[in-house]
Amino acid sequence: MVKMKFNPYNKEIEVSQGDNLLEAVRKAGIFMDTPCNGSGACGKCKVKVISGNVISTNSRHITDEQKKSGYVLACQSIIEGNAVIEIPETESSSMHGMKIEDFSSRREKDIFQRSKEQILKSGMKFDTYVKKEYLELDPPTLDDNISDFERLKRHIKKQLNYNNVFCRLPILRKIPKLLREANFKITITHIPRGKGKTTIINIEKGDKTKELYGVAVDIGTTSVAACLVDLYNGELIAKASSGNAQIKYGADVINRIMYSTKGNGLEELNHAVIQETINPLLNKMYMDSNINKDQVVSFIVAGNTTMSHLFLGIYSNFIRMEPFIPAFVKAPFIKASELNIEVNPETFIYLAPSVASYVGGDISSGVLSSGMWNSEENILFIDLGTNGEIVFGNSEYLMTCACSAGPAFEGGEISCGMRASAGAIEKVRIDGNHEPTISVIGQEQPLGICGSGIIDLICEMMFTGIIDRRGKIIKDLNTNRIRFDEHGIGEYILSFKEQYDLDRDISITEVDIDNFIRAKAAIYSGITTLLNNLAMDFTAIDKIYIAGGIGNSLDIGNAVKIGMLPDIEQSKIHYIGNSSLMGCYLTLMSEDARHKLEEIANSMTYVELSVESQYMDEFVSACFLPHTDIDKFPTVKECLNKSV
Amino acid sequence: MVKMKFNPYNKEIEVSQGDNLLEAVRKAGIFMDTPCNGSGACGKCKVKVISGNVISTNSRHITDEQKKSGYVLACQSIIEGNAVIEIPETESSSMHGMKIEDFSSRREKDIFQRSKEQILKSGMKFDTYVKKEYLELDPPTLDDNISDFERLKRHIKKQLNYNNVFCRLPILRKIPKLLREANFKITITHIPRGKGKTTIINIEKGDKTKELYGVAVDIGTTSVAACLVDLYNGELIAKASSGNAQIKYGADVINRIMYSTKGNGLEELNHAVIQETINPLLNKMYMDSNINKDQVVSFIVAGNTTMSHLFLGIYSNFIRMEPFIPAFVKAPFIKASELNIEVNPETFIYLAPSVASYVGGDISSGVLSSGMWNSEENILFIDLGTNGEIVFGNSEYLMTCACSAGPAFEGGEISCGMRASAGAIEKVRIDGNHEPTISVIGQEQPLGICGSGIIDLICEMMFTGIIDRRGKIIKDLNTNRIRFDEHGIGEYILSFKEQYDLDRDISITEVDIDNFIRAKAAIYSGITTLLNNLAMDFTAIDKIYIAGGIGNSLDIGNAVKIGMLPDIEQSKIHYIGNSSLMGCYLTLMSEDARHKLEEIANSMTYVELSVESQYMDEFVSACFLPHTDIDKFPTVKECLNKSV
């Protein structure tokens, strides 16, 4: 056994000689964001060997200078003896950090407001499926000596007209003592199930009818967002988001699934999303709002199909293997205690239903909140998270498909990429001298660049002649912001490390640009193929809704200019934020919305792009800025002509 | 801290100076049967101090000779320093020992057969509520790519006509891998719930339709009995019984309830009955029959109201406090995994419904198996377990009451008492020279005396002039079997220790006789009061059924002679064995029987004897052999006159 010490965490563990260094870091309980899951491709597990013996393979991510200072990729290193390792505080750690969001953002408020109105306009009622009632029971006597539970049932039948009242063992266990401590004046929390049936899920002393809370959670592959809602009046109490702690096991769903099939991988992924991500978010919101978790009795969660499987701890390997079969699309009844989620243990966990292996409950939920199911216009809904899902339709029909866009829109597989949280460069402009102006979320020191920033950056680089339409950096430009490594791979530096006292420059490489072009091409070709499938073209689109974690600052014009979105009138394109979370909020607040959500999931027609021969051709043609066929982008063509 | 070592268990623990020795024995995990729960009354916690310093109070249970040898009552001893203690192997340990029962007993077989016939005669069907079905699903393809769970539901709908199929998370977790390992040929275990609904509780590879098992358990205060049943053909596979490990916390329900209110008492009692009693019985039956616990998917349990509460871990203190209110009479839905019972974790635990605080599910179940609910004759049903419950009625009405008879019928509070298991003296005859002849269960060495033996013994002592009608031993009889202690308390020795190489003689004291007389008086006065309540007398009784743990060898004539049962024609009185377990077996095998069981519990009218002024008078009059008014027992009077 050899001893490993990790700074600045001051953690020491024993490992065996010959063990992998990244495994040791994980064993020590230290979070590292490793999108490529240890293949050496992403270069994000850079650590510094302070002392001791570690043998590493060379990597293009480690410069000669860094190598001399002791930097290695943890995943490419073998432990040979006792060592002290320093883990740099990178954007990854802060990426995982939690963030309690500010509701003052006008855009955020607008989005909530519009979604609520959609629901109300469609005639749905705001009416939660969990109810509270205050009851004053008659105390028992020798002449009226029925059991406590029968007494409770008798009263509920008389006062609330439910003939069949159920509860589970933990509630029954509370009844005898609590009834007497409360002097037989109690509040029950219950879930009516129609036809005179109801199930009691909580019992409290005195009148607590106004203390009724719910939580909505969107589990993204990269980011997880949650909000705590006062079910009594529908108000949002707190909202929080963080990175999905599963990131350390892989950046995208395929890598996660692969990890889940190894050893305890499935348990580790389930633990990462619940214990390391959702529960900390919940506890932060409870602390900030001074709410007791036992009063949180409704829980709605949405995620893509793989996230849904991992959330429930369900083997998901058949999702990635032809014929791509999920274990379920609609989850069974689950109690919070079964998943160790920190709400009232009897709370029913409602998971938004999926459509297929690559169109999940987050899309059903997003479509619900978009209101497109109630629209006469043809709406194109695009969720730009990790991967990209597309839905097209109106109140008559809904067609959907998934594009393997990868995690680039949320900063994944981009060397300086990060999700749209504090410190992310969200807007970029470049002037004629190739000098950039940046705008950073939270107006903090820049740590990396998020999806909206990358779109801006690539677009500006194209229009200022830094890159060509293949995304290759032009040589011999007169600027110190461009450099080429020994392999000839070009890089544009957005922020010099000296300027912001960073470990390294914030830059974009040709490899990054290539990754991003493939992501945007996947979206564009998905849209084209889906419409073709319906024998339609872009003229059929009345509106485009963009949802997802790409960032509030998305410049829609630039997204069109790089060829991610079709070149239609820009006033028709709207960013609608985290529509999945919004759909969960609506489902919390309205039983009608929940029924609609199920109807939406059931009614969507799924198109499997991987078996559409046209899709590959479309994709290859779209791997250009904006497209190999510039005539498909007339306004962009015009601009390019102007700028030349 | 001081060190305690316990032989022959070779267990060592650390305790504090001043701790109680009985507590230390329990802390070391050693089972001791202590019916009086540490009051010093029962004398059953006798231990020998081999070395070390223990201070004890004197006790009438320790002779001078024993005191010299180091014997003390653990409950009356304080630890002063390190010590080595020897725990004698008494009948208590063997009492708790498990016993796989022999079905060859003709009486046992007859009882089962008669109960089955009762059910069939009444028009009920044998049809278990848990079903198995073998299914061959179509494997998924790209064109038929619905999720695994939807595929299963689609097939069930088509083949079995259930429109709504449910399952819980653990089953969903099994589905994806198991379906493929089984090549989509599986057996489901499910519970139909009417109206096209069913819930899957197990899924197995291949055709397992014939492997379907259930368990019935009767939880008595003193004894627990279980049987393992092949639900496919209704056959009994194994039967086992043992003492209830809760005995160490008190002999009767009142002592158990009191213990349950202290510290972790409730958890300890719940652990004792499930982990230390029921699970060992189950595992023994599985081992003997080579059955896998995962195939045990039905579980019916009956017990008195307190046992039902403790089995579910529910606070039961209000049962013993006026107005005597149980927390529940009908338990909610419970999964085996919630109680850690060793059957398939998804198995639904069905607890026979109680009637009131002192008439439990064991009585509902017993009445079911007795068939009295379907009788035109008036039947008196008496359960002689710990306490005694009485039901009177026919197909038109059922009246019930509970008598606080204590544990004497199962050997509790009798110095040499034990339950009716191997080694118990079950029959006694005494000749004119006051010399006894005994018959021992299992034809083994006698270890103690069970209920039927005590009845015989007291009856024979009365008729051979050893005791008077108050139960006092006649002085100056010419026999070495009678002795008096320093307090003048008489004792009759049934088996000398030298004859059987025992630690002590097996005897009955005047204190024991007094305890037993009070127990039988409680039953007799209960019967009288119940009938009076209906303005009836013994002439209204067409049949008496005796159920319970008193022992298969109960001599009904002797039970009448001591005044426990009314003096009616003896051919009308039948011993029906463990009717509670039998009722559970019927409930396992027939859904109709389960509905009938609920109907019985609902329809029984409970009479609270403690508020009937007449009851106390009746009780006092019955505290004689057979009764203060001998004219109530004409045939006994005749015999007594003859024998004088």
Which tokens belong to A208?
A: 């607590």
Within 8 A of B359 by CB-CB distance, chain A residues are none
**Cα B525 from chain centroid?**
23
Residue A275 DSSP code? I
At B57, the pLDDT band (50, 70, 90 cuts) reads: confident
Residue B273 DSSP code? H
Asked if A145 reaches chain B (Cβ–Cβ under 8 Å), the answer is yes
Same fold, B2-88 and B131-205: yes
ipTM: 0.84
Cα separation, A432 vs A434, in Å, equals 5
Angle value at C-alpha A79, between A74 and A82, nearest 5 degrees: 115
Mean of the per-residue pLDDT values of chain B: 90
Residues near B23 by beta carbon (within 8 Å), at least 6 away in sequence: B15
Q: Where are the domains of chain A?
A: 2-88, 96-124+212-346, 131-205, 361-407+516-643, 417-500
Cβ pair A281, A98 in contact under 8 A: yes
Size of interface A-B (CB pairs under 8 A): 136
Q: Which among A173, A323, A332 has CB closest to B140?
A: A323
DSSP three-state, residue A566: coil
Tens digit of pLDDT for each residue in A167-222? 999 999 999 999 999 999 999 999 998 889 999 999 999 999 999 999 999 999 99
Asked if B173 reaches chain A (Cβ–Cβ under 8 Å), the answer is yes
Tens digit of pLDDT for each residue in B226-280? 999 999 988 888 989 999 999 989 888 999 999 999 999 999 999 999 999 999 9
The span from the first CA to the last CA of chain A, in angstroms, equals 64
Which tokens belong to B230?
A: 């092949």
Cβ pair A150, B606 in contact under 8 A: no
Asked if A331's CB is within 8 angstroms of B166's CB, the reply is no
Q: Which among A334, A336, A294 is positioned nearest to A202, based on CA atoms?
A: A294
The larger pLDDT score, comparing residue B151 to residue B36, is at B151
Percent of chain B with pLDDT over 90: 67
Asked if B185 reaches chain A (Cβ–Cβ under 8 Å), the answer is no
Please, how many CA atoms are within 13 Å of residue A481, restricted to the half-sphere of its CB? 21
Report pLDDT for B288: 86
CATH number attached to the domain at A131-205:
3.10.20.880
Phi, psi of B372 (to 5 degrees): -65, -25
At B99, the pLDDT band (50, 70, 90 cuts) reads: low
Cα separation, B605 vs B446, in Å, equals 42
Flag whether pLDDT at B100 surpasses 70.
Answer: no
Report pLDDT for A33: 66
Cα separation, A141 vs A138, in Å, equals 9
Q: Which among B146, B315, B324 has CB closest to A177?
A: B315
The span from the first CA to the last CA of chain B, in angstroms, equals 64
Tens digit of pLDDT for each residue in B463-508? 999 999 999 999 989 999 999 999 999 999 999 988 888 878 999 9
Cα separation, A537 vs A385, in Å, equals 24
State the average pLDDT over residues B525-533: 95
Q: Which CATH superfamily includes the segment(s) A96-124+212-346?
A: Domain of unknown function (DUF4445) (3.30.420.480)
Flag whether pLDDT at B94 surpasses 60.
Answer: no
* Model confidence, pTM: 0.84
- At the topology level, CATH places domain B100-124+211-351 in Nucleotidyltransferase; domain 5 (3.30.420)
Weakly modelled stretches of chain A, pLDDT under 70: 29, 31, 33-37, 39, 89-109, 644
Report pLDDT for A404: 84
Sheet containing B99-100, strands listed edge to edge, beginning at the edge strand earlier in sequence: B99-100, B236-243, B223-230, B213-219, B296-303, B348-351
Report pLDDT for B548: 86
For the segment(s) B361-407+526-643, the CATH number from 3.30.420.40, 3.40.50.1820, 3.40.50.720, 3.30.300.30 is 3.30.420.40
Asked if A140's CB is within 8 angstroms of B169's CB, the reply is no
CATH number attached to the domain at A361-407+516-643:
3.30.420
Within 8 A of B171 by CB-CB distance, chain A residues are 332
Flag whether pLDDT at B608 surpasses 50.
Answer: yes
- At the topology level, CATH places domain B2-88 in Ubiquitin-like (UB roll) (3.10.20)
Report pLDDT for B104: 43
Cα separation, A333 vs A356, in Å, equals 20
Flag whether pLDDT at B131 surpasses 90.
Answer: yes
The larger pLDDT score, comparing residue B78 to residue A92, is at B78
Q: Nearest CA of chain A to the CA of B367: how many Å? A: 21
At B40, the pLDDT band (50, 70, 90 cuts) reads: confident
- Exposure string over B155-171, b if 16+ CB within 10 A, otherwise e: bbeeebebeebbbbbbb
Q: Which among A525, A520, A574 is positioned nearest to A547, based on CA atoms?
A: A574
DSSP three-state, residue A606: strand
Which tokens belong to B605?
A: 């009218």
Cα separation, B17 vs B83, in Å, equals 11
Within 8 A of A325 by CB-CB distance, chain B residues are 140, 145-148, 176
